[in-house]
Structure 1
């Protein structure tokens, strides 16, 4: 049970008490102190850690985020943002898109497994697998291709816009010297990203495409950061 600090009348807790209350090991709490994720408010001359009520509340948030699968670095960023609910909404959206991506992967595995049963059909396997992914990507582009007034695809515009968009995506994925203007330019080049349905399909398509040269964790970062920016614009409008 916590007790009052004689000097300030502040209720503080020993590390063992925090461990028992939250369900985190003492070893984990010491590690969080070491990396700066959860630094106790007080330490005595012997190095014993004492935690305040605010420390306790922060520790509870860390424990919840840990159970939800966030890494220590991710938790640090979430706590810095100050809006855990918003971060969880982004994570939920990210997982939904990953599920769609993995569903397509599963479909390709089923095709591969069936083809493997007969060696005579192995040469057809690669072609079938490519059809699964290319079919999804082609359908996405067909539905969202910019057209001319005649109704025909504007190939020149589409190619130019595609190059510009990927330059901006590459910069945002690097998270180096990224400015608000970079996001604005991206949305001008591809305003449909503000449509939630298109947005989700777009990032599933990115995960499937082998030509974009993005790693999966980079796509996760892109999706999260761009969605946060779009939400901030919508909040400004409101």
Structure 2
């Protein structure tokens, strides 16, 4: 019959000797027998019970409640409870990651953020999130939710749009017109990334562009100034004109 001393169990389970002795003292986990040297030894069943105690402790249950539950819950029920707890933690972590990514992208877009600005953007996102969906059919909604850039994402498409918006703002600050070399480059990249995003569906692309130009309070989309949207539109028109001339 296999058996383990207190020290061996401590190393194997990563539970301190002091904790094991305390469990023994309160009757939560008592070693099954003593060996010839008088050392208290744990059986395989004891180790199984210790694993159940560890899982129940991870659920933030007090030892008294754990003691009451040990004989009432099967190992599968304990594992299921532990699984649900981990899922809750995972959901919380994913939300934290999403929120942190949003703040990073906001900073990349705006250069610097005051607490007032952060608070405004976060509250706007909470109350107006995805109102733009109302303007599309069900099949369009499913597609757009998968492909559209979002502040909570760090994917290639989102980063491209952030970079383009920063370049548009830079051109505006330096009085560079859309009908310029810089505007042409921006226009070409906007055409390419839009085709990539909408998979060449020009009708859906134009439909979303019209929604994009609506006030952010109405759509829940990240607020972009009318001037920046107009600049982007002129860049696209200018790029298309030059590209058409090249193809004539």
Shorter-normalised TM-score: what interval?
0.3 to 0.5
TM-score (norm 2): 0.35
Who wins on radius of gyration, i.e. which is larger?
A: 2
Higher relative contact order (CA 8 A, sep 6+): 2
